[in-house]
């Protein structure tokens, strides 16, 4: 299932956040949204999950305008994980993951049959079995993040939208989470700050810069020294990863500091 952004503009408090954004997340592919802080990544994802509506343009789900997709159908098709998800309720990990089954049950009556299997599978996938009966407020930031991703997987979506999914995770946990998500073969759209993780797991990258699409392509096509200097303001070497064969970004410093150091005394 594809999700396509067509000519989207969005302005908030007089500031233009997105400018004529066009991009496609192809069916079964892992699409990464990258760019500096404030480039519009989270806002773009919010359009894909209907938290916000564009001022111009539209978002299509398999060719249908999101505005024409019913709420239950949308909830059964698209799952999302926010950057700072939280709850004031004293729910256990298992109960939070069970929330993902509600779109299929049509209401909250506890998981039964396929829903129970979906909850168990999601908990197992994210390695949360030891935490199943722990309450939300006793969890670390990384454990909370994995719980929210498990809740999204229990939703059994075709499209998974993730905003900084490796937030609060250590290196091993981040690799495991993204690897498991990729293994499921869903259409995944994720905002990712770590360029090396983006290169390792994403089929295609969309680079946002000042609210506009700066580049689209495979990690090898996109992650070049020239782009990193222009978009991120850094000087970097781009090597070949010894295991994946993809790009490996080695920052050398900010472009302005390096330029200053080269000025003759």
CATH of 3-223, one of 3.40.50.300, 3.20.20.60, 3.20.20.210, 3.40.190.80: 3.40.50.300
C-alpha distance from residue 226 to each of 75, 128, 192, 197, 241 (Å): 40, 41, 20, 20, 19
Domain ranges of the chain: 3-223, 224-265
Phi, psi of 93 (to 5 degrees): -55, -45
Distance CA 201, CA 140 (A): 25
Rounded Cα–Cα distance for residues 119 and 106 (Å): 16
Q: Structure tokens of 30?
A: 């892992």
Residue 104 has a pLDDT of 86
pTM equals 0.91
What pLDDT score does 263 carry? 54
Alpha-carbon distance of 196 to 174, in angstroms, equals 12
Q: Any alpha helices (H) in the chain, and if so which ranges?
A: 41-48, 71-77, 93-98, 102-105, 114-125, 141-154, 171-183, 195-201, 219-222, 225-227, 255-261
CA separation for the pair 147, 165 (Å, rounded): 11
Q: Rounded distance, CA 64 to CA 195, Å?
A: 32
Q: What is the pLDDT of residue 146?
A: 95
The pLDDT score that the predictor gives to residue 87 is: 72
Query: Using an 8 Å Cβ cutoff, are 57 and 7 in contact?
Result: yes
The DSSP bridge pattern shows strands 56-61 and 64-65 to be antiparallel
Q: Quote the pLDDT of residue 262.
A: 58
Q: Which residues of the chain have a pLDDT value below 70? A: 88, 106-112, 255, 257-265
Residues constituting the chain: 265
């Amino acid at each position: 299932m594809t999700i396509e952004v067509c000519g989207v503009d969005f302005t908030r408090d007089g500031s233009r956040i997105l400018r004529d954004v066009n991009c496609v997340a192809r069916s079964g592919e892992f699409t990464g949204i990258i760019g500096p802080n404030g480039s519009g990544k989270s806002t773009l994802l919010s359009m894909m999950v209907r938290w916000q509506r564009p001022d111009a343009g539209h978002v299509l789900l398999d060719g249908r305008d999101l505005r024409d997709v019913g709420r239950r159908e949308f909830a059964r098709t698209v799952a999302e994980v926010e950057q700072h998800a939280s709850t004031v309720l004293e729910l256990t990990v298992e109960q939070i993951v069970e929330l993902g089954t509600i779109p299929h049950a049509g209401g909250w009556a506890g998981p039964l049959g396929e829903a129970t299997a979906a909850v168990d599978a999601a908990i197992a996938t994210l390695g949360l079995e030891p935490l199943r009966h722990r309450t939300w407020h006793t969890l670390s930031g990384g454990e909370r993040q994995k719980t929210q991703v498990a809740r999204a997987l229990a939703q059994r979506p075709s499209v998974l939208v993730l905003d900084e999914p490796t937030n609060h995770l250590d290196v091993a946990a981040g690799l495991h989470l993204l690897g498991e998500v990729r293994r499921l073969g869903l259409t995944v759209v994720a905002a990712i700050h770590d360029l090396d993780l983006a290169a390792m797991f994403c089929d295609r990258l969309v680079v946002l810069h000042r609210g506009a699409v700066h580049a689209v392509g495979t990690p090898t096509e996109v992650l070049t020294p020239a782009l990193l200097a222009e978009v991120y303001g850094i000087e970097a070497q781009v090597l070949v990863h010894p295991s994946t064969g993809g790009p490996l970004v080695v920052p050398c410093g900010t472009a302005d500091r390096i330029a200053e150091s080269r000025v003759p005394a």
